[in-house]
Structure 1
Amino acid sequence: MIARGDDLLARIEPRPTGTPDIGFGVYVHWPFCAQKCPYCDFNSHVRHGGVDEAAFLAAIRKELAANARLTPGRTVTSVFFGGGTPSLMAPGTVGAVLEAIAGHWAVADDAEITLEANPSSVEASRFRGYRDAGVNRVSLGVQALNDPDLKFLGRLHDVDQALGAVKLARDTFPRLSFDLIYARPGQSVEAWSAELRQAIGYAADHLSLYQLTIEPDTAFARLHEAGKLIVPDADEAAALYEATQEITAAAGLPAYEISNHAAPGAESQHNLLYWRYGEYIGVGAGAHGRIVLGPKGERLATVTERNPETWAARAVENGNAVIEVESIFGETAGDEMLLMGLRLTEGIDIARYQAIAGRRFDEKRIADLLHHGMIEVLPSGRIRTTPSGAFVLDAVVADLAA
């Protein structure tokens, strides 16, 4: 059931359950960018007249308080500042958000605090400010390591700026990750392999490597529909994906999730929280949350207002800007768990799936997927996709969920 109204959270009764074995996360969405990238379908906006950070901070504080009422007794294990471009925020704003979080919940001593940053919006003083505020992990949107492709992707930085930002991040933060986009038009396996090996030379212990996809309602979608942008076909994309897995594994950065690679122990704890179907709140314009409110894993899915200014006004006036809540339980929750958990190389725990979904897997479908090499059952009792299954994940999930 989906509900909409003025203050939907006021009707919800708090319960001290959660997912303490997996963790509890806080996602903070900063929806502003210096420029909208042509491939991006995230809730990001450009405000050439500037942003009233004090007003948005006040709204974030309101939403944190509203979510804290529903989640008593939790311990925050991760905080993620996403966007948009959170590195456009003043370090003092980031620090104030972290102080507000610590005022509502206990924060684990080893909590992972991540901030996304673009190479074009960083400088030494800001990075030191973020570190002093409590950020201990940065994720850089590098996206490519050649200037023509950076221009094609709409990025405001060049390769020299990107590598300078990587070095600065390595010198400032205990942990670093950066993103690259591959399967770009005309990109060969040989060219991508060389670029990836170059990236690994600069990476610390984590890389996020995403295939370029054409998302609806983006500038790239319009070009693609007009026949002016041609991306690699399925066979070419599969070859690029296979090369990615082989090169990263050989370099000690194997995939732990379809698009994420890390040295053992350096995985993103916040993203693992999502993929392991843990509990997290989402504050900021267009943020999503999953709050556990029942002993069998029933979840309250929350969605906030997408327009930044409308979101801020609504949050200050109502105490939160949640515009949609949905109770997720049974097979619907099980389907979500499958969709998230089968992205991981560790797979999912079958017993936990059955407890959340209230159903068992169809043995004939399991046997068929095993026969075709799409999944494997581990000695621990977990189930995961094979490399072939991971490449057609949606089909595997649909088969298991049927």
Structure 2
Amino acid sequence: MRDIDSLEPLALYIHWPFCLAKCPYCDFNSHVRDVVPEARFATALSRELAYEAARLGRRPLSSIFFGGGTPSLMQPDSVAALIEQATTLFEPVADLEITLEANPTSVETGRLRGFRDAGVNRVSLGVQALDAEALHRLGREHSAGEAVAALELARALFPRISFDLIYARPGQTMAAWQAELDAALALVSDHLSLYQLTIEPGTRYEALHRQGLITLPEDDDAAALYVETASVAARHGLEAYEVSNYARPGAQSRHNLAYWRYQDYAGIGPGAHGRLTLDGRLHATRRHRAPEPWAERVERTGSGQTSETALAPGERAREMLLMGLRLTEGIPAELFAARTGMTLDEALDAEMLRNAIEAGYVAWYGDCLVATAEGRLRLDALLAALVL
């Protein structure tokens, strides 16, 4: 067996699928239940974690991320038990990052101290807006005042803070967005995750949009809001390091960087997926999406996994391109070849790449292929043209 230090660090994602309410724009794997049997699901997560560790071995653990759903609805004791188990089964790195997503309702804010005591050292707050009308339209369960209070308390409790905002909302103006960003970043200026409001299939917003009851800003207006975000963030000391993420130097999300750099990560819980190197091959794993059937599978077999597939070089190359070009640092050619078994030249449409470079959307910086700021602004179209 190889020495632990020679193994690639592992990122661990733990999915808690339950929410207080389903937001009308949300297509995430989240579910509302009148009563959540927390003990059952916490036990199932623990059992599935043990299942993964048994086959992965005692690998270095670089990050733990509690996502959802709304993991801040869990009891801190449940979070503490999973952290203790993960850091026992795997070998935690010295600066292990442990993130928990939380919404700024009064109930969840009241648990933040408990999560800190459980071992969480980074909290990600789903603020989404600091405007009362926007919060109502978005179906959020918290007020603007509760969001501010949560940000202030989190700042006092945790060494690292992130928060989410949604832009390109109905009727949103540039002046209002600038003021909202300034207000939020004045409270917490470590890390910002930014999401454009989109109409997703199967959501309540899709029905409202189809009926003409919701109108989103035009593409050019949305793009202007996005561009302005970088300027406001820069005034607060944050730099864009990924298409939708801004951070102070050293405050980047290490867990999410594992995804974007196409490193190994394990996912447990309903609907969680992973990318794991097993027997020298990279495998894609996925869990059952629905909470109760997932729990039943875990209770029966130890895992809620529904599929595990060894990825071919072309599949690995496509995934690494789709993830890596989101980063401002780009994709190192040597790392790409080592991880995928293909060169960048083999994985890209040569004519499209040449055209994209000439247009200023893509550039080579040393041996790294990078999407420029202009390229990241139109990344979906760029990737569709470039990636074979």
Shorter-chain TM-score range: over 0.9
Residue 254 of structure 2 corresponds to residue 255 of structure 1: no
Check the 8 A contact 2:106/2:146 in 1, yes or no: no
* C-alpha deviation, 1:294, in angstroms: 4.8
RMSD, matched Cα: 1.9
Q: CA–CA distance in 2 between the matches of 1:292 and 1:17?
A: 16
1:139-197 deviations in whole A, cap 9, x for unaligned?
Answer: 00000011000000000111110000111111111111111100001112222112111
Q: Which structure 2 segments of 5+ residues have no match?
A: none
The 1:90–1:323 alpha-carbon spacing in structure 2 relative to 1, beyond 3 Å, is same
Equivalent residue letter for 2:335: R
The 1:123–1:54 alpha-carbon spacing in structure 2 relative to 1, beyond 3 Å, is closer
Report what 2:273 is aligned to: 288
* C-alpha deviation, 1:19, in angstroms: 11
Equivalent residue letter for 2:295: A
Q: Which residues in structure 2 correspond to 1:33-182 (within 5 Å)?
A: 33-48=19-34, 50-120=35-105, 122=107, 126-182=111-167
Report what 2:365 is aligned to: 378
* C-alpha deviation, 1:302, in angstroms: 1.0
Q: Which structure 1 segments of 5+ residues have no match?
A: 1-14
Equivalent residue letter for 1:313: E
Check the 8 A contact 2:191/2:245 in 1, yes or no: yes
The 1:28–1:213 alpha-carbon spacing in structure 2 relative to 1, beyond 3 Å, is same
Aligned with 1:222 (options 197, 207, 228):
207
1:205-249 deviations in whole A, cap 9, x for unaligned?
Answer: 111111111111111111111221111111111111111122212
Report what 1:8 is aligned to: none
Residue 192 of structure 2 corresponds to residue 207 of structure 1: yes
Report what 2:342 is aligned to: 358
Check the 8 A contact 1:87/1:122 in 2, yes or no: no
Residue 311 of structure 2 corresponds to residue 324 of structure 1: no
How many residue pairs end up in the alignment? Answer: 384
The 1:122–1:75 alpha-carbon spacing in structure 2 relative to 1, beyond 3 Å, is farther
Report what 1:186 is aligned to: 171
Q: CA–CA distance in 2 between the matches of 1:360 and 1:31?
A: 37
Report what 1:333 is aligned to: 316
User: Greater CA deviation, 386-395 or 279-288?
Assistant: 386-395
The 1:52–1:16 alpha-carbon spacing in structure 2 relative to 1, beyond 3 Å, is farther
The 1:32–1:394 alpha-carbon spacing in structure 2 relative to 1, beyond 3 Å, is same
Equivalent residue letter for 2:24: P
Check the 8 A contact 2:128/2:164 in 1, yes or no: yes
Check the 8 A contact 2:71/2:100 in 1, yes or no: yes
Check the 8 A contact 1:374/1:389 in 2, yes or no: yes
Equivalent residue letter for 2:375: G
Check the 8 A contact 1:253/1:261 in 2, yes or no: yes
Check the 8 A contact 1:31/1:85 in 2, yes or no: yes
Structure with the bigger RCO (C-alpha within 8 Å, sep 6+) is 1
The 1:360–1:169 alpha-carbon spacing in structure 2 relative to 1, beyond 3 Å, is closer
Report what 1:6 is aligned to: none
SS of residue paired to 1:354: helix
The 1:230–1:57 alpha-carbon spacing in structure 2 relative to 1, beyond 3 Å, is same
Per the normalisation by structure 2, the TM-score is 0.95
SS of residue paired to 2:105: helix
Q: CA–CA distance in 1 between the matches of 2:108 and 2:199?
A: 32
SS of residue paired to 1:119: coil
* C-alpha deviation, 1:250, in angstroms: 2.9
Sequence identity (%): 49
Q: CA–CA distance in 2 between the matches of 1:19 and 1:222?
A: 52
Per the normalisation by structure 1, the TM-score is 0.91
Q: CA–CA distance in 2 between the matches of 1:66 and 1:210?
A: 34
Q: CA–CA distance in 2 between the matches of 1:287 and 1:259?
A: 21
